[in-house]
Amino acid sequence: MPNHLFSLASKVTVNGTPYHKSCFKCTHGGCVISPSNYIAHEGRLYCKHHHGQLIKEKGNLSQLEGDREKARTEVAAES
Protein backbone atom coordinates (compact mmCIF):
# COMPACT_ATOMS: atom_id res chain seq x y z
CA MET A 1 0.00 0.00 0.00
CA PRO A 2 1.52 3.37 -0.94
CA ASN A 3 2.28 5.67 2.01
CA HIS A 4 -0.31 8.22 0.92
CA LEU A 5 -3.08 5.61 1.30
CA PHE A 6 -2.56 4.96 5.02
CA SER A 7 -5.82 5.15 6.89
CA LEU A 8 -5.52 7.19 10.06
CA ALA A 9 -6.55 4.21 12.18
CA SER A 10 -3.84 1.92 10.78
CA LYS A 11 -0.78 4.12 11.09
CA VAL A 12 1.63 5.43 13.67
CA THR A 13 3.59 8.61 12.96
CA VAL A 14 6.88 9.14 14.77
CA ASN A 15 9.05 12.18 14.10
CA GLY A 16 7.04 12.87 10.95
CA THR A 17 7.53 9.35 9.52
CA PRO A 18 4.38 7.26 9.04
CA TYR A 19 4.46 3.51 9.73
CA HIS A 20 1.79 0.84 9.37
CA LYS A 21 0.97 -0.19 12.93
CA SER A 22 1.83 -3.78 11.99
CA CYS A 23 5.25 -2.66 10.64
CA PHE A 24 6.18 -0.57 13.69
CA LYS A 25 8.27 -3.34 15.29
CA CYS A 26 11.54 -3.77 17.12
CA THR A 27 14.45 -4.32 14.75
CA HIS A 28 16.00 -6.87 17.09
CA GLY A 29 13.11 -8.89 18.49
CA GLY A 30 10.28 -8.14 16.10
CA CYS A 31 7.98 -7.27 18.96
CA VAL A 32 5.31 -4.63 18.42
CA ILE A 33 6.30 -1.23 19.79
CA SER A 34 4.46 2.00 20.37
CA PRO A 35 5.43 5.67 20.36
CA SER A 36 5.76 5.46 24.15
CA ASN A 37 8.08 2.43 24.33
CA TYR A 38 10.55 2.65 21.47
CA ILE A 39 14.07 3.95 20.95
CA ALA A 40 15.38 5.01 17.55
CA HIS A 41 19.09 4.36 17.11
CA GLU A 42 20.98 4.99 13.86
CA GLY A 43 17.78 4.81 11.81
CA ARG A 44 16.51 1.61 13.41
CA LEU A 45 13.65 1.14 15.86
CA TYR A 46 14.00 -0.89 19.04
CA CYS A 47 11.74 -1.62 21.99
CA LYS A 48 13.22 -0.30 25.22
CA HIS A 49 13.75 -3.84 26.52
CA HIS A 50 15.79 -5.10 23.54
CA HIS A 51 17.70 -1.82 23.22
CA GLY A 52 18.82 -2.08 26.84
CA GLN A 53 19.63 -5.77 26.41
CA LEU A 54 21.78 -5.09 23.34
CA ILE A 55 23.62 -2.25 25.06
CA LYS A 56 24.42 -4.54 28.00
CA GLU A 57 25.61 -7.37 25.69
CA LYS A 58 27.59 -5.29 23.21
CA GLY A 59 28.49 -2.16 25.11
CA ASN A 60 27.04 -0.09 22.27
CA LEU A 61 24.94 -0.65 19.16
CA SER A 62 27.70 0.46 16.80
CA GLN A 63 29.50 -2.75 17.75
CA LEU A 64 26.30 -4.67 16.98
CA GLU A 65 26.16 -3.11 13.51
CA GLY A 66 29.77 -4.18 12.96
CA ASP A 67 28.86 -7.74 13.99
CA ARG A 68 25.93 -7.79 11.53
CA GLU A 69 28.12 -6.55 8.67
CA LYS A 70 30.75 -9.17 9.48
CA ALA A 71 28.09 -11.91 9.47
CA ARG A 72 26.76 -10.70 6.09
CA THR A 73 30.29 -10.73 4.65
CA GLU A 74 30.93 -14.25 5.95
CA VAL A 75 27.66 -15.54 4.47
CA ALA A 76 28.41 -13.89 1.13
CA ALA A 77 31.90 -15.44 1.11
CA GLU A 78 30.43 -18.91 1.73
CA SER A 79 27.99 -18.58 -1.18
- For the segment 27-41, the average pLDDT, to the nearest whole number, is 89
Distance of CA 65 to the CA centre of its chain: 12
pLDDT for 37-52, tens place per residue?
899 888 889 999 999 8
Q: Got the DSSP string for 31-61?
A: -B--TTSEEEETTEEEEHHHHHHHHHHHSSH
- Rg from Cα positions in the chain: 15
Per-residue confidence (pLDDT) for residue 72, from 0 to 100: 44
Q: Which of 7-11, 38-42, 48-52, 73-77 shows the highest mean pLDDT?
A: 48-52
pTM score of the predicted model: 0.59
